[in-house]
Structure 1
């Protein structure tokens, strides 16, 4: 039993080391990709910033593109997770206000330094357009569809096909990310975009 216990401890220790290495590489790459862009960041710069070897990068992610995919997924999960937490913390709201809470959280997330560069500028070319869109739908579209469906069921929005409306809103959020990312005054840009999206959503409410 003692031997087995040591074996289990050893496996946990190795798993912890692996997790720490992955986290260090993703964190370093996220910062560098956000600051310089994917094309201008070499693997040596990443491993030096992460404090690991180049072999560790290749072992964990295969290559720089594989690491970028992990960075992209982490950013998307963080953004959607932040929106979900904001909705949960907001408590009982009508469905339209719930949608706007989620929009606010998303806009704040994409305004963080480097996020727009990673998700909207580099990702389509690095991942390929189809893969980029598939990931966007995986992380965001289902949430938007759920919020729209709830609003329609409660009579807060006019009855209409959910999927095309969800795509339209997702498109607005993507373009909003680009607008905010290029703005000199990001706070003002967020406020402008938020107001436009709010008017659009409320315009779908029954008269």
Structure 2
């Protein structure tokens, strides 16, 4: 009985998140009504309030789901890279490019900050910083980059990537902006390399 109830909770949450994600991506947060969201999910406003508190809580859940998917995609890129340095660069450039994807751009980089505040304070950012910190430590251990403070460097890198992605999302020409950011990021990151190493092209 308890398992059945748990399954129903997961199913209900999943329906609400999917309906909200579809609506936020298509119409934006502000123009997505709670009545439409719950109707599309075949549920009531009461279910939304019970599981997420309010529309803002639902947006947080949608962003958390998208963040998990982005993290999984980035992990694959790291695993497929031939070297730790290539993985570090490829992952960073992929994160930048994700800000061009309509759903991610609108929900994570436009509506998210407008509704939930500074993205650098979101829980997902702490996970990104820890992951970047581990990559930096591995690059130091391999003798690829200079011995730097891993946390400070990870925060600088993630701050740069986040800030650049927000700029791209708001740019008049996001694609051109993303190309500029990618080129500039490689130039900046290459400053970490030891003189014996060669920067990625």
TM-score by length of 2: 0.83
Note if contact 1:96-1:201 (Cα within 8 Å) is conserved in structure 2: no
Write out aligned runs for 1:196-207 (5 A). Answer: 196-207=184-195
Note if contact 2:164-2:181 (Cα within 8 Å) is conserved in structure 1: yes
Listed as ranges, the gaps of 5+ residues in structure 1 are 1-6
The range that moved more, 15-24 or 160-169, is 15-24
Q: CA 1:171–1:77 in structure 2 vs 1: closer, same or farther (change >3 Å)?
A: same
Which one of 135, 145, 158 corresponds to residue 157 of structure 1? 145
**Structure 2 Cα separation of the partners of residues 34 and 133 of structure 1:** 23
Note if contact 1:86-1:101 (Cα within 8 Å) is conserved in structure 2: yes
**Structure 2 Cα separation of the partners of residues 196 and 85 of structure 1:** 24
Note if contact 2:110-2:169 (Cα within 8 Å) is conserved in structure 1: no
Specify the alignment match of 2:129 in structure 1. 141
Q: CA RMSD in A?
A: 2.3
The range that moved more, 78-87 or 50-59, is 50-59
Q: CA 1:69–1:166 in structure 2 vs 1: closer, same or farther (change >3 Å)?
A: same
**Structure 2 Cα separation of the partners of residues 109 and 81 of structure 1:** 13
- Report the secondary structure of 2:12's partner residue: helix
Specify the alignment match of 2:166 in structure 1. 178
Note if contact 1:180-1:190 (Cα within 8 Å) is conserved in structure 2: yes
The count of corresponding residues between Structure 1 and Structure 2 is: 195
Tell me, yes or no, if structure 1 residue 23 matches structure 2 residue 24. Answer: no
Larger-Rg structure: 1
Task: Report the alpha carbon displacement of residue 132 of structure 1 after superposing the two structures with TM.
Answer: 5.5
Tell me, yes or no, if structure 1 residue 115 matches structure 2 residue 104. Answer: yes
Listed as ranges, the gaps of 5+ residues in structure 2 are 196-201
